[in-house]
Structure 1
Amino acid sequence: MDHALIESTLGGLVAANSRVLERDCEQIALQYLAQQVVPQFDVDSADFDRDPHLICADRYWFHRFQAEPTLHTAVECAGWLAEHVGAAVHEPIREKWALGYAFVTRDSVESAGEIADATGDIVAADDSGCNKAYFATLYHAGKLRANFFFDELAQFLDASPLAMASGPHRESVLFTALRAFAAFGSRRATDEYARTLFGEVWSDGDRTYAAVDVLLNGLDASPEFAGQGELLRDSAAEALLAYPNSHILHFRLATGRWLCGEYETAMVSIDTALRLLPAAGRRVSHELLQGQYLARREAIKAGRVAARQAEVERERAERTEREIGRLADTVRGSVVRAVELVAVFAAVIAFAVGSLNVSLNGNLALADRLWIVAGLGGGLAGFALLVVGGTWAIAHRLTSE
């Protein structure tokens, strides 16, 4: 192949529109594949939307992984990255390629024997062995993550010779984020352990977009625990300050708000995620993600309807309770009035009968009869007041309770 001509052609695509850029880069990548030649140009940008060199390399390695989704392909890709990608943009491209190609080839998880064979070749390689092992580790771990094999992922990262061969890369934020993902989803790990790993990555000033994505993915996939929704909501909102156009982060924010019962704002977030979701992409599946987003949108709608119905029922129950309270007050008041009336009426009858007997008793002087009548009236009046006061006190205590 005429590598100089290809470089010139790619350079001329810098100002091309996106349709021409995608088409021509794809054609050049297919030429490399047809002639079984590895691209010879260098990449010094992480702009996957506008850099022709990066787009062409991306197309090339996408087809390579599609044709042979193995750790050996991952090792070759890692070697090409080391030779042709600038140090300033090496990490974001490595992370995006390793996890992205893992996602699109997630149906081809390699066996323990295949991993062991690849590990042997990597360990026997040159000084770049730990870099190649790290890329291969991310690639295999990405497959396990895409299939939600939480326990297998945890075991692979902690004990696999391939992961061990990554050397100092085992301390990277993305490696720890993958361990946190496995811990969140595993039934064997505690919530506290998972959140500890989460905090280590989140507090790291060097955390990358890929690490954030993996962390929030694990938190979203975790079995329910206290504070899960709040942690997901707040973390996604913070991450969006740095990556405002990330559809997946808007999706995570929508999920967190949904878990917190904040249905109105959750609907805004999920609609934003759907609007930002690209119609095409080599390392993502538009149909799969769109299906997930629409399913979450329906869940948010259902939650909102249920919340509104619950609010109506609560208001109805409160109105019923108030009506019952007013009715009870009315009944208690009526009973009190009745008791008071009976007490007064009984006192009047007793006074009338008693005073009549005294009046008809001709053996007593008039003054004596008046004193007896007055005493009888006073006693009955006191009795009536006692009954009325006691009834009022009892009714007041019941009302206050």
Structure 2
Amino acid sequence: MEPGSYTARLSGTTASDSRELDRVCEEVARAMHEEGTEPPFDVASSNFATDPFLICADRYWRLRFLEHPSIRTAAACSLWIAAHVSREARTEVWEKWSLGYAFITKDSVESAVELSRAMEEIVSRDAPAGDVAYFATLYHAGKLRSDFRFDELHQFLDSSLLALAAGVHRQSALFTALRAFAAFGSPVITAEHAVGMLDQAWSSPDRTRHVVDICLNGLQFALPFAGHGELLRDRAAEAVGDHPGDHMFHFRLASGLHMTGDHDGALADIDTALRLLPALGSRGSHKLLQEQYLAKRDAIAEGRLRAARDLEHRQRLGEQDAHHRERWAQLEEELHRRGEEQARAHREGQETARANHVRSVELVAVFTSAIAFAVGSLQVTLTGDFPLRDRLFMIGAWGIAHVLFALLVVGGTWLITRPRR
């Protein structure tokens, strides 16, 4: 088929019929791939939904990468972008293709030897070596990112010849975001360093949707650190505010809300992500993403149920604790009352015993005085030559003395044993 026929057929499609547009773009892309012809047309926009030329070119390079998933193919793709994609759309196409094709070919990571052999070919291209090396670096780094090989990604970005050949592109927000992603998952890099690089990429004026996605991806799969969930939640909420129709950002936000215990909010956002997830995708797997989202939804629902059960359990424990406290207070009050009664009874018993003892002493004193008076009076009466008058006087004096003695004993006993406050 002549190159002009490709352009003519694509020009005859309309964006209103999405099924027809998809079918025509797929057929033209396969025809070019089978004939070994790169797309001869130019791409003026970054609209992957309605631009037939961009959709067709996307399908073509997808077939090329699936057939030869190497940085050589990435270099060829980079050269085509530089020649056929407008400057306004180039950044979006560059990032979307490099990372998207890396995801669908993540099972074919090239070794260090393969990278070294391909490196010579890449830097000898007529196009600026930095641009080609940067696209190839993003492609290979995207594979390592998709496989969560954090340490290999960190080493590749920092010291590989391919990444070093990217030149000034190493300062880009996307490159920094990939470095932050690698740092978040590495056990040898501190969380503070990773957060610092994330902040640098996040605050960059060149921040794109893909920069945000990589930053959130790194946060979601980072090793746990203080404030982890809160940081993911806040950054994902900001991303959703900027891109409300992006299913991936709603998924990241649901993960952050789940980590911070907001299960209701997480459930609402994961449902939104499932609703926004497109049924088809040329660089990603709809089925894989759907399974991932559904697994997260199950985890959120399970966490929500567990939290409700824990709350019910804590409430039940609180009620039991309050009941036990009430019973203990009642028991303490009862013990205190019984203690007071026993103490009062003991005091009354002691006072009664003391009173009885005092009465006994007084009774003995009075009885002793009476016996002594009787004996003394009898002796005075039966013996001696005293006249009656003297005897009566002596008996009276004797009785008065014993009465005084008895009163003295009784008074002294009362004085000694009287209650004292």
Q: Shared topology, TM-score over 0.5?
A: yes
Q: Which residue in the other structure is 1:74 paired with?
A: 74
TM-score (norm 2): 0.85
The answer to whether the aligner puts 1:268 opposite 2:268 as a matched pair is: yes
Alpha-carbon distance in structure 2 between the residues aligned to 1:346 and 1:8: 116
Q: Which residue in the other structure is 2:125 paired with?
A: 125
Query: Per the alignment, in what secondary structure is the counterpart of residue 310 of structure 1?
Result: helix
Paired residue type of 1:273: A
Alpha-carbon distance in structure 2 between the residues aligned to 1:43 and 1:266: 39
Is the CA contact 1:358–1:369 (under 8 Å) kept in the aligned structure 2?
no
1:318-367 deviation line (CA, Å, top 9, x unaligned): 1121122112111211121112112222233333344455556364559x
Q: Which residue in the other structure is 1:395 paired with?
A: none
The answer to whether the aligner puts 1:350 opposite 2:350 as a matched pair is: yes
Is the CA contact 1:359–1:369 (under 8 Å) kept in the aligned structure 2?
no
Alpha-carbon distance in structure 2 between the residues aligned to 1:167 and 1:126: 16
Alpha-carbon distance in structure 2 between the residues aligned to 1:48 and 1:264: 34
Q: Which residue in the other structure is 1:56 paired with?
A: 56
Paired residue type of 1:246: D
- Stretch moving more, 261-270 or 1-10: 1-10
Alpha-carbon distance in structure 2 between the residues aligned to 1:344 and 1:70: 98
Counterparts of residues 299-310 of structure 1 (less than 5 Å): 299-310=299-310
Paired residue type of 2:78: A
Is the CA contact 1:354–1:373 (under 8 Å) kept in the aligned structure 2?
no
Q: Which runs of 5+ in 1 are unaligned?
A: 383-401
Paired residue type of 1:177: A
Q: CA deviation at 1:128?
A: 1.8
Alpha-carbon distance in structure 1 between the residues aligned to 2:265 and 2:81: 42
Paired residue type of 2:69: P
Paired residue type of 2:308: R
Is the CA contact 1:44–1:89 (under 8 Å) kept in the aligned structure 2?
yes
Is the CA contact 2:358–2:417 (under 8 Å) kept in the aligned structure 1?
no
The answer to whether the aligner puts 1:91 opposite 2:91 as a matched pair is: yes
Alpha-carbon distance in structure 2 between the residues aligned to 1:98 and 1:322: 62
Q: Which residue in the other structure is 1:165 paired with?
A: 165
Q: Which residue in the other structure is 1:65 paired with?
A: 65
Q: Which residue in the other structure is 1:148 paired with?
A: 148
Q: What is the percent sequence identity of the aligned residues?
A: 45
Alpha-carbon distance in structure 2 between the residues aligned to 1:15 and 1:212: 29
Q: Which residue in the other structure is 2:18 paired with?
A: 18
Q: Which residue in the other structure is 1:372 paired with?
A: 414
Counterparts of residues 222-237 of structure 1 (less than 5 Å): 222-237=222-237
User: Cα distance 1:167–1:343, how it changes in 2: closer, same or farther (>3 A)?
Assistant: same
Alpha-carbon distance in structure 2 between the residues aligned to 1:48 and 1:60: 14
Q: CA deviation at 1:308?
A: 1.4
Is the CA contact 1:176–1:197 (under 8 Å) kept in the aligned structure 2?
yes
What RMSD over aligned residues (CA atoms) do the two structures have, in Å?
A: 2.1
User: Cα distance 1:371–1:44, how it changes in 2: closer, same or farther (>3 A)?
Assistant: farther
Alpha-carbon distance in structure 1 between the residues aligned to 2:233 and 2:278: 23
1:140-198 deviation line (CA, Å, top 9, x unaligned): 11111111111111111111111111111111110111111111111121111111111
1:202-258 deviation line (CA, Å, top 9, x unaligned): 111221111111111111111211111111111100011111111111111111111
Paired residue type of 1:29: A
Paired residue type of 1:123: V
Alpha-carbon distance in structure 1 between the residues aligned to 2:136 and 2:193: 26
Is the CA contact 1:48–1:54 (under 8 Å) kept in the aligned structure 2?
yes
TM-score (norm 1): 0.89
Paired residue type of 2:319: R
- Structure possessing the higher radius of gyration over alpha carbons: 2
Is the CA contact 2:79–2:127 (under 8 Å) kept in the aligned structure 1?
no
Query: Per the alignment, in what secondary structure is the counterpart of residue 188 of structure 1?
Result: coil
Is the CA contact 2:358–2:413 (under 8 Å) kept in the aligned structure 1?
no
Q: CA deviation at 1:369?
A: 6.2
Alpha-carbon distance in structure 2 between the residues aligned to 1:353 and 1:179: 94
Q: Which residue in the other structure is 1:313 paired with?
A: 313
Alpha-carbon distance in structure 1 between the residues aligned to 2:336 and 2:328: 12
Counterparts of residues 125-274 of structure 1 (less than 5 Å): 125-274=125-274
Q: Which residue in the other structure is 2:329 paired with?
A: 329
Is the CA contact 2:145–2:153 (under 8 Å) kept in the aligned structure 1?
yes
Q: CA deviation at 1:374?
A: 12
Alpha-carbon distance in structure 1 between the residues aligned to 2:191 and 2:217: 15
Paired residue type of 2:288: L
User: Cα distance 1:129–1:356, how it changes in 2: closer, same or farther (>3 A)?
Assistant: closer
Is the CA contact 1:251–1:270 (under 8 Å) kept in the aligned structure 2?
yes
Q: Which residue in the other structure is 2:289 paired with?
A: 289
Count how many residue pairs are aligned between Structure 1 and Structure 2.
379
Is the CA contact 1:358–1:373 (under 8 Å) kept in the aligned structure 2?
no
1:92-145 deviation line (CA, Å, top 9, x unaligned): 110000000011011111122221122111212224221111111111111111
Query: Per the alignment, in what secondary structure is the counterpart of residue 50 of structure 2?
Result: coil
User: Cα distance 1:353–1:37, how it changes in 2: closer, same or farther (>3 A)?
Assistant: closer
